[in-house]
Amino acid sequence: MARKWLKSLVKGEKAEDSSSSEGKTNSVVHVSDADFQKVILEASTPVLVDFWAPWCGPCHMVGPIVEELASDYEGKVLMAKVNTDENTQYATQLGIRGIPTLIVFKDGREFDRVVGVTPKRKLEEKLDAALA
């Protein structure tokens, strides 16, 4: 289900109704350097990218917030995660110096950024601004 929705976003098509109860998951897409351009920069909707690493304690605090946002903004904003230990190219290009770093992309460009554990409400404000 999430893959179909992701493919439709990348192609600029209208997302399918994902309200069926068929194992509904509010997925966060895991993105690598290889597919960052296509999934993030060419997305037809805003994207919130969580740059994180498995050893990062604060990252594990942000993870559940990003999952909740995926549910709240399903069909409007794509939520993605990039493991900076395994995918360094875009983290380096974007000047990621501390994690977690959350970047909102809109129309293929950085729209906003926060570093560190951030309250859900603050992230909602940034996403709402990107949707406006």
Domains parsed from the chain with CATH numbers = 26-131 (3.40.30.10)
Nearest to 28 by CA among 71, 57, 60, 62: 71
23 to 4, 14, 18, 27, 79: CA distances (angstroms): 14, 21, 10, 11, 19
What is the predicted pLDDT for the residue at 117?
Answer: 95
Q: Which of 2, 56, 114, 115 is catalytic?
A: 56
Annotated active-site residue in 49, 59, 103, 104: 59
| Catalytic residue list contains 128 | no
58: which 2 tokens? 């604060």
According to DSSP, residue 12 is labeled T
Report phi then psi at 98, rounded to 5. -140, 150
State pTM to two decimals.
0.80
Three-state DSSP string of 46-84: CEEEEEECCCCHHHHHHHHHHHHHHHHCCCCCEEEEEEC
Nearest to 49 by CA among 19, 24, 84: 84
**15-51 residue pLDDT tens:** 433 333 333 345 899 999 999 999 999 999 999 999 9
For the stretch 57-92, pLDDT in tens is 999 999 999 999 999 999 999 999 999 999 999 999
Does 59 qualify as catalytic in the annotation?
yes
SS3 32: coil
Distance CA 126, CA 112 (A): 7
**Residue 46 carries which side chain, given as an amino acid letter?**
P
